[in-house]
């Protein structure tokens, strides 16, 4: 279990989905920093910028699969090459039920998979599984 959660990265190309997911996260805990990247390449750039500036690498990444420029699978491959010392939980968000896609997800070594749409209950379940949920949940 990871105790500390400060920085969440949403990697998703749909601006409406990003808006909704960011509001949902902030509803659970307004103090969490949420950064948005519109594709895997932007996500990697943000992580590298954090590393260079000696800032907090995201402890939690929500990653869409299908995106332009760099998709979720390509992001995972490049992220694993970074060999960061920090522990990061990566949660793939998918609408896919295609067995080939799901098999690829499980082989990718990511931390978890959630079916879209993202919800407050699904977010809290991730917090309970990987983080000290009592510290991060401020909902009744």
Which spans in the chain are helix H? 15-28, 40-52, 72-82, 99-107, 120-130, 133-136
Tell me whether residue 119 is in a domain: yes
Number of domains in the chain: 1
pTM of the model: 0.86
**CA atoms within 13 Å, Cβ hemisphere of 48:** 12
Helix (H, G, I), strand (E, B) or coil at 19: helix
CA 119 to chain centre: 14
* pLDDT one-digit tens code per residue, 48-107: 999 889 888 899 999 998 899 999 889 988 998 888 867 888 998 887 666 565 566 556
Domain of 53, in residue numbers: 7-130
CATH number of the domain where residue 44 is located: 3.40.50.2300
CB neighbourhood size of 81 (10 A): 8
């Amino acid at each position: 279990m990871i105790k500390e959660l400060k920085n969440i990265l949403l990697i998703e190309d749909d601006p409406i989905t990003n808006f909704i997911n960011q509001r949902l996260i902030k509803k659970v805990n307004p103090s969490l920093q949420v950064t948005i990247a519109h594709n895997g390449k932007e996500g990697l750039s943000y992580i590298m910028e954090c590393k260079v500036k000696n800032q907090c690498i995201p402890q939690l990444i929500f990653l869409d699969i299908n995106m332009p420029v760099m998709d979720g699978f390509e992001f995972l491959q490049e992220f694993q090459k970074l060999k960061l010392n920090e522990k990061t939980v990566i949660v793939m968000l998918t609408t896919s039920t295609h067995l080939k896609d799901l098999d690829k997800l499980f082989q990718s070594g990511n931390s978890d998979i959630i079916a879209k749409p993202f919800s407050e209950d699904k977010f809290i379940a991730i917090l309970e599984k990987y983080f000290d949920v009592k510290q991060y949940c401020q909902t009744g």
